[in-house]
């Protein structure tokens, strides 16, 4: 397995100096990663990638208290990761798009690879 350089690869923009839109995109990406920087929020995203769920379903699935799940959902909602649809007294939460689920799954795959021992990257 070989590592590809990110800077100058053309995949995320030109290799010249970063402009303001690049800086704004990096800041938005960092905000998203901060919102996901919790094992509980990762578990919520994984649960919601299967289907939308209300808070009590997430509480039962995750084995956590309702206030704790609600607090984490608020962080994810503020970060634009999930949205809620009210139906009477219940709010069903769903992922805004599949990109976040892909990020979380890729991070888990990477973590599992890392836990199996160091990999050798030739360059």
Q: What is the pLDDT of residue 2?
A: 43
Query: pLDDT for 80-113, tens place per residue?
Result: 999 999 989 999 999 999 999 999 999 999 999 9
**Sign (positive or negative) of CA dihedral 102, 106, 112, 115:** negative
pLDDT tens digits, one per residue of 23-71: 999 999 999 999 999 999 999 999 999 899 999 999 999 999 999 999 9
Domains of the chain: 36-114 (1.10.10.10)
Distance CA 29, CA 24 (A): 9
The whole model's pTM is what? Answer: 0.76
Instruction: Copy the structure tokens of residue 105.
Output: 């799954």
Q: Which two tokens stand for residue 95?
A: 């992922």
Sign of the dihedral through C-alpha 67, 73, 79, 84: negative
Measure the CA dihedral 18/3/103/37, to 10°. Answer: -80
């Amino acid at each position: 397995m070989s590592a590809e350089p990110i800077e100058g690869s053309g995949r995320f923009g030109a290799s010249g100096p970063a402009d303001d839109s690049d800086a704004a995109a990096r800041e938005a990406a960092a905000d998203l990663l901060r919102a996901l920087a919790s094992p509980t929020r990762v578990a919520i995203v994984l649960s919601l990638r299967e289907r939308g769920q209300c808070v009590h379903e997430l509480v039962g699935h995750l084995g956590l208290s309702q206030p704790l799940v609600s607090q984490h959902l608020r962080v994810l909602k503020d970060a634009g990761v999930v949205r809620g649809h009210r139906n009477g007294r219940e709010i069903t939460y769903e992922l805004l798009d599949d990109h976040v689920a892909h990020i979380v799954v890729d991070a888990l795959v990477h973590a599992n690879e890392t836990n199996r021992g160091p990999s050798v990257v030739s360059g």
